Structure 1
Amino acid sequence: MNQGLFLRRRCKVYVPVGTGGASRAQVASAIREVAAFRCVLSESLIEQIGKLSATELKYWLREIVGVLRRETGAHVHHRPFYPGFPEQVMMTSEAELYLNAVIHYFTLLRLPPTEYSRPAMLEGNFISRVIEPGSVSEFESLLEPLIASRTSLSEEETADVVWFIRKYKSDVFRLLPETVPFREIRAQVGGALFQHVPGDARAEAFLERNVDTATDVLRLAVALNGGDVSLATALTRFTAMKRSTRRLLLRLLDRIPNAAEGVMRHAEQWKRLAEVLHPGDYAGKYPQALAAITAARRNEAPASFGSRVETLLAQRHITTLTPILQSRPGEFARRLDVTLRRATEPESVLDAFEAVATQVSSPVLLQLLAQVRAPRPLPLRAFTPKGAFAKVYGIKDRREPLAPDVLARATRICEDALVSRFASLPPLGRCFIDPALREYRVPLAQRASSKSLRTLVRGSRLPIPDTRFIRLFLWWKNGRERTDIDLSAAFFDANFVFMETVAYYNLKSLGGYHSGDIVDAPDGASEFIDLNLDVLVEKGVRYVVTSINSYTEQPYCDLPECFAGWMARADTASGEVFEPRSVFDRIDIASDTRICLPFVMDLQERGMIWADLGLTSSPRWNNVQNNLSGVSLMLRALVHTPRPDLETLFDLHVRARGERVASPHQAQQVFAPDQGITPFDTNLIRSQFL
């Protein structure tokens, strides 16, 4: 049993059958210990732990508290440069702050611990997580929604899938679905089965069912070599393979029709793979595979689909183009906008698209729907390319305008196709959809998402609790050499105009206070920033962008551990500097970047915008001041980029197979941020609603 996985995915824990004997005082102590992490135990869970012996309760509680500590960031020691933060920073002169920093930079010494009287923390009225008891069968049911997802998995989710396969080995086949809809997940599961269930015929049978294109075979080979199955990053370095593995890959490729065209889509990857596959060794047994790979090596395949489409678009031969696009409905949807703008008769393009719209996947239709619904021109066109980490690019929207009636019809086509698809699913009955769900984004591509306390989708807005103070925090530990990570907060007004920064070079400004710069962390180091929300709003600040910079240029993936988050504090003068019960979000920072922008505070709307983005380049001095152009671009991209929201998704489902009601009390199914199916049920949404 993996209690951490169970708690993270379902907010449930497993309690083994006990021998009894735990006293009421011991149970009460357990409840209080868990409450220190903003969690409460349900009545049924309290009843179950009451049936444990004192020793059994002790070991069960130790495991659960260990999980909660790691989730919130309380598993490490937090000591800021100024031990009396924030009062010590507020009361110290600028000259002394500067002098202390210079001494630290030359000597790496920190200020000695000082006794500060800290009263018990004043707690705000913050909502807690309710932990319920769960069974083994409920725990095992976590695997299927992950594998049945119709969008990519995050690194953490992939690790969960691999854990099940590694732990259950041959027994895992009873938990796997027959087919896997998303191709990247097919490769990840196939690679894990190969590694942890070697020689099992059921693993090969699984691959036979789930590999049907040349790119599927390539992704499987990449997964076996620990590469990026999205095929979006650098070429994978393939290592020598066993003969049985080579035969399997060649056999899978040999049975695919028109394999040569599929191989040419990723010709360079296939050339590298061929060096270890040695297809000539099996020329008589797998001739089609050999022919496809040979064509790639000689560049003999015909012009690719993409090149033909781009040529026809450039020449504006739309009549010739539309039948070609109809052969690949997903590509048609992705290129519908540009095709309509190049067409002299957009209605004929829409007629052609409508004929194949029902064959387009739900995620692609939802993305297209969000685009055609958005006002034109967009304040900013932003792009987040597919890859192992999230980055953003933006340009001015200079597209040719589309007539409102064209956009309206494109909207109807997308909606009708989705409603038609959803109508084949089981009925939902009476449904309540909370309008607040329009602030939460549909979980589409999650491959670049970081591990976090709450499962969030980039661009989603969550309410900030009713509090006056927010405390940002960062913790890291040195890699192979001295590592300096900096926590900063950049302030922007409502027009995205930069106002000020609180950072290592400016410890206090506009109602923000920094705990002091630490430039070496052999045993770990913490930095904090306190934000007085009322003062910031009075000064005209609307957006607070949290920026984390690797000043010494090490990528975060090379560090033993690095994480950040934020706390809601009723009073910064009470409680310890780090209080796990006040932590609302914590995010692991482990991407192959040197600049991370985890979240943004919108003080006017009292919301937190989940960003989880990395900037791809850095100036000579890597700090927030020298990256303001990238920070500003990311901020505008988060605010302005149209993305499909959960209210739209659930409303389409209800139109197809239910009845929308005005109150949750009238409903058989509730969709809301805090009850029923919530935005944090990403596995359920991706497997059952996409």
Structure 2
Amino acid sequence: MIHPFERLVVRHTHRIPLPHGPLGRGGAAARQFDAALMSVGFKLSAALLERLAGLSAETVLDTAARTLDTVREMVGDHVRHNVYFVDFPANVPDTADFWERCVAEALADEASRDGTVAQLRTGVVDLLTLPSYGNYRHTHAEMLAAHEELIAAAGDRVTVLHPGGTPDEEVTALYLALAGSTTPLGEEGLRDLSALAGHCVDGLQPEAIPVRENRAVVNLARLGAGAELLVNTVTDVLRLACALSDGDVTLVEPTRLRSLSRPVRRALLASLDAVVAAAPAKLADVTAHREAFKRLGERLHPHEYPRWPHAARVFAVARGEEEARSFDSRVEALLAVDDVTGAARLLTAAPGRLLRSLDRLLRACRVQDERDAVVAAVEQSVPRVAGRVLLAVREHLHNRAEEARGRRVFVNRQGRAWVTTDDRAPVPSRERERLIGVLDAETRRRLPEAGHLLIDPDVLDVALPLSGRATAAGLGVLPRGSLSPVDGELLRFFVHWKQTSRSTDYDLSALMLDASYETLSWLSFTALTDVGGEHSGDITNAPDGASEFINLRLDAVRGTFIVPQVNIYSGEGFEEAEESLFGFMLRDAEQEGRPFEARTVRMKSELRGPGRVALPLAFVRGSDGRWRAKWLHLYLRGNPNANRVEGNRVSVAVLVRALVEREPLTVRYLTGLMAGGAGAVTVWDGTTVPDGPVTYIGLERPDGLHPDSLVVTPENLRALIPG
């Protein structure tokens, strides 16, 4: 029997659940499976190959078919990637010559001649009116025939798949990991958690669900199963109502609440009543989402249920009929009369708010006694603060050093960013150092004993995933701010999109900047060639899907930064299109192959942001001459139509500069703290692994680790964040 969530397990964990099936001699089938995986950059671990070899060939082949479909989609090989210029990257024409050729072909076409002549008389020709512009001129098969087979290289990506437990064990473990995550999940993670929560509602549950968005998703499943809801604030109930309406459980975007059945209304009102009865002060939370609670009251009809009077008070506060002074307003009142000490003392009742207000409190202090009181309040409160808040404030203080002043960058939950001048007064250096010591000590106290710590050095500059919204869904994707090595001679970006209902034109571009973030050049549909690079040609309509590529020879690239971007020229947004994805490949100079080769793909991510310009990452040349990827995951608002790299190059440069110059808290920080309590620390050399169990932290799980090892890779990096 095939488990319905086997694909999720493979995608999230890179493990294949042990398939059900009779024993047999499946060795030949397992080797065929392994060979097929290697063609798309994956491989079976030695242990998994051995386990599959003991099953029947039919079972192995069934597993292979399902897994291959999953991994091909993970890497972007589930679609047909075609190019406008059939032998790209060879023979890409000069842009002006290409446009002249399109005009000549339009003049030779009787159907388009008159219209083209009329445009020429005005001095302006719309490329989109030329018959040979923007549409594939050959089939996918013809494009494949024009390219030599890819030459295998030692640097090709190999993602190893490892053996898992039974399907039920793997699915339960994945559900517990997602539901119990100490950091918010991204859109994909929440969607997968929703599916798993319904399946696992009667099974094992996490000891705690610290992230409230996760709790709303789990509560939705529990409500459907008639189980007790996990609610301890009035906002938990509002989030659940949004989940019932397929809305935004983060409460960032307004949700149009649906009419609710009588049993659901009773369950929500009973929960609200219990929360307020136990802690009337929690009514103050209503004011932060006053309008949403008004809409919820219209759906719940609290006047019909007099047995829950405390629930009715929630909506009275929302309507302004009852006052519930918020905690924040009490803090503001103290700060308004310059009572910083009183504000710090009050904030100890809400430790998370205290740490988030820390910068402001320190800047408001006038004398040393007040600064000492603020630090003392923090020392008293840190044991009750969530781990991700400790780390976020530690990162903030690191970037508030006097020499780090200059620009402030803000990124919202949707990936939209803006930059402004940092005109804040500095945080006093003495208090800054004292607080950093307090936060480091508390974080170290919470970290588990690592035993023998085995570290892949390539993971050290990966940013800690303090929020899943700072990482797009996909393969090889790292959190915003991460740096990862780029080892290869040819760098190739790709974008693929498929429109849902109307003509849609996405444009892949790459902006080259110097060390001062000034524009040197770009590659796009308006500049098909440049020193060291080629564009595959502009596709302007994607009813069956379309792809564009940019090829770069890294040793020929001028400047310090390469910034790929995807501009929406016209049509559907990233969230409207049926499919939209971005990725990059790395190849050796002598490798041939097709424009898209799955085993050279280093990263593939979904494009699902709200803006009209996507900035997935940038490539940075270091002082040592090596290139590294700097992960951005940003979206610019852009224009409604006709977005082009020329039009946004200044704003892109400002954003890139702000993100590059800000230092995130990385894995290096946590492993440094963990090393103090580890029995031994080994830097992995990429070949041999210790015989005994280890705590391994790296980009990929090595083959041959002891089965009792604790393994942390980008797929479960949030496991490093202490609770």
Q: Give TM-score scaled by structure 2 length.
A: 0.86
* CA distance in 2 between partners of 1:139 and 1:544 (Å): 40
Q: Secondary structure at the match of 1:597?
A: strand
State the partner residue of 1:59: 62
1:620-635 matched pairs, under 5 angstroms = 621-635=642-656
State the partner residue of 1:218: 238
Bigger mean CA deviation after superposition, 78-87 or 546-555: 546-555
Q: Secondary structure at the match of 1:547?
A: strand
CA positional deviation for 1:290? 0.6
Shift of the 599–48 alpha-carbon distance from structure 1 to 2, 3 Å rule, reads same
Q: Secondary structure at the match of 1:88?
A: coil
State the partner residue of 1:670: 696
Match of 2:272 among 247, 253, 270: 253
Match of 1:43 among 33, 42, 46: 46
Q: Do structure 1's residue 232 and structure 2's residue 264 form an aligned pair?
A: no
State the partner residue of 2:705: none
1:268-667 matched pairs, under 5 angstroms = 268-283=291-306, 285-298=307-320, 300-313=322-335, 315-344=337-366, 345=368, 346-374=371-399, 375-376=401-402, 377-385=404-412, 387=413, 389-422=414-447, 425=448, 427-433=449-455, 436-447=458-469, 449-465=471-487, 467-536=488-557, 539=558, 541-571=559-589, 574-604=592-622, 605-618=626-639, 621-655=642-676, 657-659=677-679, 661=681, 663=683
* CA distance in 1 between partners of 2:27 and 2:678 (Å): 47
CA positional deviation for 1:491? 0.8
State the partner residue of 1:184: 213
Shift of the 260–18 alpha-carbon distance from structure 1 to 2, 3 Å rule, reads closer
- Kindly indicate whether the alpha-carbon contact (under 8 Å) linking 2:213 and 2:250 is maintained by their aligned counterparts in 1: yes
- Kindly indicate whether the alpha-carbon contact (under 8 Å) linking 1:146 and 1:157 is maintained by their aligned counterparts in 2: yes
* CA distance in 1 between partners of 2:28 and 2:671 (Å): 46
* CA distance in 1 between partners of 2:38 and 2:64 (Å): 12
What CA deviation, in whole Å up to 9, does each residue of 1:62-84 have, x standing for no partner? 11111121111111111111111
User: What amino acid does structure 2 have at the position aligned with 1:671?
Assistant: I
Bigger mean CA deviation after superposition, 367-376 or 63-72: 367-376
User: What amino acid does structure 2 have at the position aligned with 1:371?
Assistant: H
Shift of the 188–355 alpha-carbon distance from structure 1 to 2, 3 Å rule, reads same
State the partner residue of 1:160: 192
- Kindly indicate whether the alpha-carbon contact (under 8 Å) linking 1:18 and 1:53 is maintained by their aligned counterparts in 2: yes
CA positional deviation for 1:221? 1.3
- In structure 2, runs of 5+ residues without a counterpart are 107-126, 685-689, 702-708
State the partner residue of 1:144: 176
Q: Secondary structure at the match of 1:627?
A: helix
* CA distance in 1 between partners of 2:650 and 2:223 (Å): 46
* CA distance in 2 between partners of 1:438 and 1:16 (Å): 35
Bigger mean CA deviation after superposition, 142-151 or 676-685: 676-685
State the partner residue of 2:111: none
Q: Give TM-score scaled by structure 1 length.
A: 0.90
- In structure 1, runs of 5+ residues without a counterpart are none
* CA distance in 2 between partners of 1:117 and 1:681 (Å): 37
* CA distance in 2 between partners of 1:482 and 1:18 (Å): 47
Q: Secondary structure at the match of 2:202?
A: helix
Q: Secondary structure at the match of 1:251?
A: helix
Shift of the 508–316 alpha-carbon distance from structure 1 to 2, 3 Å rule, reads farther
State the partner residue of 2:704: none
Match of 1:87 among 62, 84, 90: 90
Identity of aligned residues (%): 30
User: What amino acid does structure 2 have at the position aligned with 1:580?
Assistant: A
Q: Do structure 1's residue 132 and structure 2's residue 162 form an aligned pair?
A: yes
- Kindly indicate whether the alpha-carbon contact (under 8 Å) linking 2:41 and 2:158 is maintained by their aligned counterparts in 1: yes
Shift of the 662–117 alpha-carbon distance from structure 1 to 2, 3 Å rule, reads closer
- Kindly indicate whether the alpha-carbon contact (under 8 Å) linking 1:260 and 1:293 is maintained by their aligned counterparts in 2: no
Shift of the 573–96 alpha-carbon distance from structure 1 to 2, 3 Å rule, reads farther
User: What amino acid does structure 2 have at the position aligned with 1:33?
Assistant: A
User: What amino acid does structure 1 have at the position aligned with 2:318?
Assistant: A
* CA distance in 1 between partners of 2:325 and 2:638 (Å): 35
Bigger mean CA deviation after superposition, 580-589 or 106-115: 106-115
CA positional deviation for 1:516? 0.4
Q: Do structure 1's residue 119 and structure 2's residue 141 form an aligned pair?
A: no
CA positional deviation for 1:54? 4.2
CA positional deviation for 1:573? 6.7
Shift of the 528–22 alpha-carbon distance from structure 1 to 2, 3 Å rule, reads farther
Q: Secondary structure at the match of 2:564?
A: strand
- Kindly indicate whether the alpha-carbon contact (under 8 Å) linking 2:455 and 2:698 is maintained by their aligned counterparts in 1: yes
* CA distance in 2 between partners of 1:40 and 1:323 (Å): 57
Q: Secondary structure at the match of 1:255?
A: helix
Shift of the 135–434 alpha-carbon distance from structure 1 to 2, 3 Å rule, reads closer
Q: Secondary structure at the match of 1:353?
A: helix
* CA distance in 2 between partners of 1:298 and 1:456 (Å): 45
- Kindly indicate whether the alpha-carbon contact (under 8 Å) linking 2:84 and 2:135 is maintained by their aligned counterparts in 1: no
Q: Secondary structure at the match of 1:584?
A: strand
* CA distance in 2 between partners of 1:415 and 1:82 (Å): 55
Match of 1:105 among 128, 153, 162: 128
Shift of the 529–226 alpha-carbon distance from structure 1 to 2, 3 Å rule, reads same
- Kindly indicate whether the alpha-carbon contact (under 8 Å) linking 1:646 and 1:679 is maintained by their aligned counterparts in 2: no
RMSD: 2.5
State the partner residue of 1:689: 722
Shift of the 101–586 alpha-carbon distance from structure 1 to 2, 3 Å rule, reads farther
- Kindly indicate whether the alpha-carbon contact (under 8 Å) linking 1:118 and 1:575 is maintained by their aligned counterparts in 2: yes
- Kindly indicate whether the alpha-carbon contact (under 8 Å) linking 2:697 and 2:713 is maintained by their aligned counterparts in 1: no
Bigger mean CA deviation after superposition, 523-532 or 96-105: 96-105
- Kindly indicate whether the alpha-carbon contact (under 8 Å) linking 1:148 and 1:177 is maintained by their aligned counterparts in 2: yes
User: What amino acid does structure 2 have at the position aligned with 1:488?
Assistant: S
Shift of the 472–247 alpha-carbon distance from structure 1 to 2, 3 Å rule, reads same
State the partner residue of 2:289: 266
CA positional deviation for 1:25? 5.0
Shift of the 250–67 alpha-carbon distance from structure 1 to 2, 3 Å rule, reads same
* CA distance in 2 between partners of 1:224 and 1:516 (Å): 45
CA positional deviation for 1:672? 3.4
Bigger mean CA deviation after superposition, 543-552 or 660-669: 660-669
* CA distance in 1 between partners of 2:161 and 2:40 (Å): 11
CA positional deviation for 1:319? 2.7
CA positional deviation for 1:143? 1.4
Q: Secondary structure at the match of 1:295?
A: helix
CA positional deviation for 1:687? 7.2
- Kindly indicate whether the alpha-carbon contact (under 8 Å) linking 1:238 and 1:276 is maintained by their aligned counterparts in 2: yes
CA positional deviation for 1:653? 4.0
Shift of the 480–246 alpha-carbon distance from structure 1 to 2, 3 Å rule, reads same
